[in-house]
Amino acid sequence: MAGSAFVFDVLNDAFGRQPSPSREVVIATAVLALLAVLVRPAWKVMRNFVTIAHEGGHALAAVLSGRRLSGIRLHSDTSGLTLSRGRPTGPGMVITGLAGYITPSLLGLAAAAILGGGRLTILLWILLVLLVLMLIMTRNVYGVISIVAAGAIVFTVSWFASAEIQGAFAYAFAWFMLLGGVRAVFELQQSRFRRQAPNSDADQIARLTRVPAIVYVAFFVLVCLGSLAFGVRLMLGPVRDLL
């Protein structure tokens, strides 16, 4: 009976509604996330989490489009690589290529929607499940260490932290993914402009579809900025409420 009561309490905590942090805390987490994105030393470290989401997006898109996922690699320079098997051309390859740069922002938007419903703990559990699935397919040591570290942070917060800390962490995560996704896309175009990224996702898709790569960069920008705009509305309300 004690075991059943424990399981019930855990599930109730996970699926039940938790009180959202105060508006001041939500704004403070947004400021912290913005600093993590804009301050170069912080961004060099935190960008690893954007890369995890980016490569996870490639992996999920590959599986959903009928390709066979071979493995994921994460590198210390915050780059990554997702390998899949299947036709070297066609919709599956295009969908897989398109997914990477938009996934961090879409993940941030999904997190904002879940937080809007007061489901703070379930968001953290979903993140843990996604990290475990990525860990299974990761094929290099640095990638394993990165994902295990991220999972340890999320697990510690979800299991041991108070509701207030969980709420602040969850909102900081949503803000960081929304803002970090935007910066990653602008870095992509900056690298392309300097001719430092001839094999970027946008350029690879361009070669597959014979559509200029800048069209796909514009698509990434629209999705990321749109996600940020909707995320702001979900977490802070309409702009007029902020004035």
Domain assignments of the chain as residue spans, ordered by start = 22-241
> Which stretches of the chain are DSSP H helices?
2-15, 23-38, 40-64, 91-116, 120-137, 141-160, 163-193, 201-209, 213-236
Query: What DSSP letter does each residue of 84-101 carry, written as one string?
Result: EES-SSSHHHHHHHHHHH
- CA separation for the pair 223, 50 (Å, rounded): 15
Residue 123: predicted pLDDT: 94
Separation CA 89–CA 125 (nearest Å): 36
- Joined together, the tokens standing for residue 166 give 């969980």
Q: Give the pLDDT confidence score for residue 82 in this predicted structure.
A: 96
Report field, pTM of the whole predicted structure over 0.85: yes
* pLDDT at position 118: 82
* List of the chain residues with pLDDT < 50: 1-3, 5-12, 239-240, 242-243
